[in-house]
Amino acid sequence: MKKLSILIALSIGATAATAMANSLVSPGPREKIARSTLAAVPAYEWNKLSRRGGKFVEIWTIDGDELNKVAFYGGIPVGEPLFREADKKEAPLPRVTSNMLITDIPPLLESSYRIQLGTSQMTIDSQEPTLVAGRKGIKFTYSFVRRDDEVQRKGEAVGAVVGNRLYLVTYEAPAIHFFEKDVEKFRQLVTTLKI
């Protein structure tokens, strides 16, 4: 019951926040996602949040980023973290490396979440090779609980390293109801990715 109450509160807050700080992403071709060469063709409307997780990150949502979120990490170069660091001196984030393999992508996300979000409960649930925009990549699923709430979230992601740059697209939502509600929209979006 407590988790349901938290989800309802998140829904109300996320809807209000989304309404104040977004721009509409209409169906059709989108280029230069996350200020990079990443492109996609969404079949559904999304909201692009004005808040950025870093200079290489763009966030889209349908119901608010607490309820469903797609994060595009576009062309992160060697030496950079996935997102903006909260405490660079005391809690530095792991960085993209020049010898990064696709199998290094899930642990990079997990380590970044554990440090930045304080997620003591995070697991990489599955991983398999896949093509991302026609390039060798990895698809993986994960689950986590953030420090600031008790909501179990699920995630699905695809990533590839192209020209010493990391391209990663993640979808996250609460495991109860919201993950299944929009995961197919994310999967459709992934099939249209171009780098």
Question: 5-9, 91-95, 168-172 — which is least confidently predicted?
Answer: 5-9
Question: What are 136-153's pLDDT values in tens digits?
Answer: 999 999 999 988 888 999
Q: What is the pLDDT of residue 94?
A: 93
**CB 31, CB 72: distance < 8 Å:** no
- CATH of range 2-190; options 2.130.10.10, 3.30.365.10, 3.40.1000.10, 1.10.3230.20: 3.40.1000.10
**CB 96, CB 166: distance < 8 Å:** yes
The set of residues, in sequence order, having a beta carbon less than 8 Å from that of 146 and lying 6+ positions away, is 117, 118, 119, 153
DSSP string, 146-176: -TT---EEEEEEEEEEETTEEEEEEEEEETT
- State the Cα–Cα distance between residues 74 and 169, nearest whole angstrom: 8
Q: What is the pLDDT of residue 21?
A: 58
Residue-range domain boundaries for the chain: 2-190
pLDDT at 3 over 70: no
